[in-house]
Amino acid sequence: MSLVLTLVAQRDTTTLDAATIALARECMESTHPHTVLSPEEAVDLPCNADAASRLPALLDALAGKAVDAVLTHQAARRKLLLVSDMDSTIVDNETLDDLATHAGIGEKIAAITARSMNGELDFATALKERVALLKGLPDSLLEKAWQDVTLNEGARTLVQTMRANGAYTALVSGGFTFFTSRVAELCGFQTNHANTLLAEQGFLTGRTGHPILGPDTKLELLTTLAQQHRLAPEQTLAIGDGANDLPMLKAAGLGLAFFAKPIVRQAITAQINHTSLRTALFAQGYAASHFVGE
């Protein structure tokens, strides 16, 4: 029993019933009793070491159900470092796109964002192109865009619960410190890292500070924080949705693709496609009764 399958149902639309658990048990060839993490929402099902090869068949069997299935190792399940992306992960927004919408150029910038997040454009180039389109706009638009920002379900609970259990938490974004600093404060992240959007005399310059924070920087942050806190790679958790998150997702002990772009779903096995960030806690073996911050 070296692996654990965590099943989580989208609690607003369905329940995790006995038939679904039995289906998972059959697909994964598990004979072990399951552990309820949240009644009718989440369970842990111990599996044998060769269960990973059976996961694709289970995911196919679950198609059409609002249920996520995440397979993890029993060893070092509870992570002691969280590094999370912000846009479309911790928040239900692409903050640069929202800023552009208030400037009246939303569709133009959103198209570049989509290509970048799908891995079709180099991140730094895409960021420069988008920011250049903001030149001359009042920086007061940042505050207007902030009013649109909404935390995703479970974001604060994820951070608070991990911190209460000794983990260090970091928010990292290819977006801007104006937003990450505020989101970090709302959720309780201990540190935040992002790009700086430059302004002069109340107007955006169309430039960012340097160096530009991109995929390599996200990976470097994960590695550096792990070293600083004397953690092995398997003790780390990374969460993200876009192509610029791939390096850190692949390097983390558990890399979770959260409602991710196709290029990310193709590369990362552990995925949250139906449920909330609460699943990142269930996947670490936390019972809902032990969640903090709800």
87 is catalytic: yes
Distance, CA of 38 to CA of 275 (rounded, Å): 13
261 and 117 inside one domain: yes
107 and 249 inside one domain: yes
* CATH assignment of the domain containing 138: 3.40.50.1000
Catalytic residue among 44, 68, 87, 97: 87
pLDDT tens digits, residue range 27-57?
A: 999 988 999 999 999 999 999 988 999 999 9
154, amino acid identity = G
127 and 270 inside one domain: yes
Alpha helices in the chain (DSSP H): 18-28, 55-61, 95-103, 106-117, 123-132, 141-146, 155-164, 177-187, 215-228, 246-251, 262-267, 278-282
Catalytic residue among 44, 68, 85, 245: 85
Q: Which residue shows structure tokens 């692996």?
A: 3
Distance, CA of 93 to CA of 102 (rounded, Å): 14
SS3 assignment, position 1: coil
Least confident of 51-60, 118-127, 173-182, 213-222: 118-127
Domain that holds residue 65: 1-75
As a whole-number percent, the residues of the chain with pLDDT over 90 amount to: 79
Distance, CA of 83 to CA of 6 (rounded, Å): 21
Look at residues 16, 42, 75 and tell me which one is the last residue of a structural domain. 75
pLDDT tier at 190, thresholds 50, 70, 90 = very high
As a whole-number percent, the residues of the chain with pLDDT over 70 amount to: 100
- Number of domain units in the chain: 2
